[in-house]
Amino acid sequence: MMQLGATHPHGHVRTCTRRTAAADDGAVGTLIRPITLSTREITFRREMLGWVGAVHFVLEPLGDDQTEALFAGLRCTDTVRLRGGAVVPSPQFLVAPPGFFAPNYQISLDEHFAESLDLVVPDDAALLAIVTHRNPIGRSTVNLFSPIVVNRHSGLADQYVPASSEAETGWSVRTPLPLALVADDT
């Protein structure tokens, strides 16, 4: 198992893990650092669930201030189909580090999954949680149950599907966004 994510100094620790230096000095900002990859090009090991043929993606920053820089657009550069057959050119996804939504976020990758992305140490991996926008915006959610895991050196990626259920992991496919982020829209 490879533990990813960080403990929060005041947060509930879900599974045994080491405390990071960042957690110890309370520097929350480093726990939710922007997505840092050596490459903007991301290649899925297999097509993204739900999207037939979606393998090649480009990660595009959405903003340049502290909050919005955490969010990025993950744009598919393949022409893909929904399973019903409808063609969708270049679908785009909104992603952000899951630690932004849950400072105590943590996930355990099984060994084979980590190996399949050439992940040797936890720092080889970057996590991207997919946000689903809904109207009104307060109904928007983020998928903390099955994040996209990216090898930050090679850009090789896959969406992690835990063997345990949402109830068992404590993370939901549809986690409400923090109120502070969505409360002020009309």
Partner 1 sequence: MLTLTREPGQKIVVGDDIVITVVSVSENGRVRLGIEAPRQIRIDREEVLERIQNENIEAGAGGTASRWAAYAARRANRQASAGATSPSVGDPGQSRDAAQRPKRLESLAAPR
Which CB sits closer to partner 1, 4 or 95?
Answer: 95
Distance CA 180, CA 114 (A): 34
Helix (H, G, I), strand (E, B) or coil at 28: helix
Residue 21 is classified by DSSP as H
Which CB sits closer to partner 1, 15 or 66?
Answer: 66
CB of 85 to partner 1, least distance (A): 13
CB of 100 to partner 1, least distance (A): 6
Q: Which residue, 161, 155, 163, 174, is CA-closest to 55?
A: 155
Choosing from 21, 85, 167, 184, the residue that interacts with partner 1 (CB under 8 A) is: 184
Fill in the amino acid letter for 152.
R
The β-bridge partners of 131 are 94, 142
Residues 124-183 that bind partner 1 (CB under 8 A): 130-134, 137, 143, 145-146, 159, 161, 163, 165-166, 173-174, 178, 180-181
Q: How many of the other CB atoms lie within 10 Å of CB of 5?
A: 24
The contact pattern for partner 1, residues 9-48, with x = CB under 8 A and - = no contact, is -------------------xx--x---------------x
Which CB sits closer to partner 1, 37 or 74?
Answer: 74
Sign of CA dihedral 5, 37, 176, 21: positive
61-81 CB burial, b ≥16 within 10 A, e <16: eeeeeeeeebbbebebebebe
Residues in contact with partner 1, counted by CB under 8 A, come to a total of: 52
Q: Which residues bind partner 1 (CB under 8 A)?
A: 28-29, 32, 48-51, 60, 62-68, 70-71, 73-76, 82-83, 88, 91-94, 100, 112, 116, 130-134, 137, 143, 145-146, 159, 161, 163, 165-166, 173-174, 178, 180-181, 184-185
